Amino acid sequence: MIRPIEKNDIASCLAIYNQYIEKSTVTFETERLNLQQFTARVDAVTERYPWIVLEEEGEVLGYAYLDSFNPRAAYQWVCDLSIYLDPSSRGKGLGSMLMDAILRLARRDGYLRMTSIITSDNVTSRRFHDKYGFRKIAEFPNIGYKNHMWLGVAYYIKDLTEELPEHPEPVRNLSL
C-alpha cells in the first residue's frame, strides 16, 4: 500500500536512507543521520510537498518525495524527485509503484516539470528514469568525492505536461 508518510514511519525511512549513506554512492551525504535530523527533514519537506511510503504487512519498503528544485518563485512549477527503496526490496517493481504515485501527485499539484539528480555510477537509476521519459539535460563529471572515488552527477528532467501554459496557475502544494 502506498500512503502519506506518518510520524511512526520516519525511523524506517531513516534506516533505509542511512544504508545508502553508508554503503553506496547513491547519495553524496557521507555521515549517518540521526532520528532528530531526519525528522526535521521530513517536517520541512512535508510542509509544502508530498512524501509517500510503500508499506507491506506493516513494514516500510520504500519511500518517495518531492522537494524544491530551487526556492525562487519563478521555479515554482518545477519539483525535485527522490525515491529510496530498502535494498532487499529492489527489483520487484516497487520503485515503479512509487514513481507512478509521485507522478500523479506532482501533476495534481500543478507541477509542469520534475527533476532528479543521479550519481554517475548509478546505472540502475539512470535506466529507471529513462524508462519514465526523463531526459538527461546536464552532467557534471567528478564533482563529488565519496567512498574513495570521484563521482559525477547528471541532472534529469521530465515534462509533466505536453505544452507549457502561457499563464500557469500557481502550484498548489497540497498536503496529503
pLDDT in tens, 83-139: 999 999 888 999 999 999 999 999 999 999 999 999 999 999 999 999 999 999 999
Q: What is the pTM of this model?
A: 0.94
- pLDDT computed for residue 171 by the predictor: 83
Query: The C-alpha cell of 11 is what?
Result: 525511523
Q: Which residues, in sequence order, are CB contacts of 137 under 8 Å at separation 6+?
A: 155, 156, 157
Q: Which residues, in sequence order, are CB contacts of 144 under 8 Å at separation 6+?
A: 28, 119, 150, 151, 152, 153
What H or E segment, with its residue span, contains residue 152? strand 149-159
Strand order, beta sheet including 2-4: 2-4, 51-56, 59-68, 78-85, 113-119, 149-159, 135-146
Query: The C-alpha cell of 37 is what?
Result: 535530523
pLDDT in tens, 5-36: 999 999 999 999 999 999 999 999 999 999 99
